[in-house]
Amino acid sequence: MSDIYQMAASLARPVARGYITRTEADAALLASTLAAKRRGKLPYEVRDVFGGLRHILDLHLEKERVRRMLTEQRIQRRIRPLVALRKPSNAVLAEAHDVNGAEGFPFDEADVTEMTVMQMFWAMPGARSHAR
């Protein structure tokens, strides 16, 4: 039975990254709960276990959201001086990816690149006037 609880925790990262929807994660949890009940490994009511699994997923999603937010702030804090000094974009990207790696890769490579490019864009002279 602990495998379905581990599954609830492990679904948080794919949901947070947008690989699967929350509905798909809930469906997977419900299917696993029903399968455990059919196998006789679930001594509790399905709806109670499913509610607990959704709660576990919620907790891990919140943890992942905070982790991603903090990592984004750390990336921005690390690359701002480099952008201000007009360092080459590959050096700025390397620093951003380094922070992402140090934090356990909460973001995909494309997400980090997009974040970095946006920081470099907004640092360009006249970027704010072009955005209007």
* Judgement on whether residues 80 and 39 belong to the same structural domain of the protein: no
- 36 and 72 together in one domain: no
Task: Read off the DSSP letter of residue 44.
Answer: S
pTM of the model: 0.80
pLDDT tens-place values along the chain, 132 residues long: 578 899 999 999 999 999 999 999 999 999 999 999 999 888 899 999 999 999 999 999 999 999 999 999 999 999 999 999 999 999 999 999 999 999 999 999 999 999 999 998 888 776 566 555
Q: Which residue in 89, 74, 72 sits closest to 123, CA to CA?
A: 89
Residue 88 has a pLDDT of 93
Q: Is 90 found in the same domain as 46?
A: no
Last-in-domain residue among 44, 64, 84: 64
- What totals of helices (H) and strands (E) does the chain contain, helices first? 7, 0
Q: What is the residue range of 90's domain?
A: 67-130
Q: What is the pLDDT of residue 130?
A: 57
Please say whether the beta carbons of 94 and 88 come within 8 A: no
Considering the domain architecture, whether residues 71 and 126 belong to the same structural domain is answered as: yes
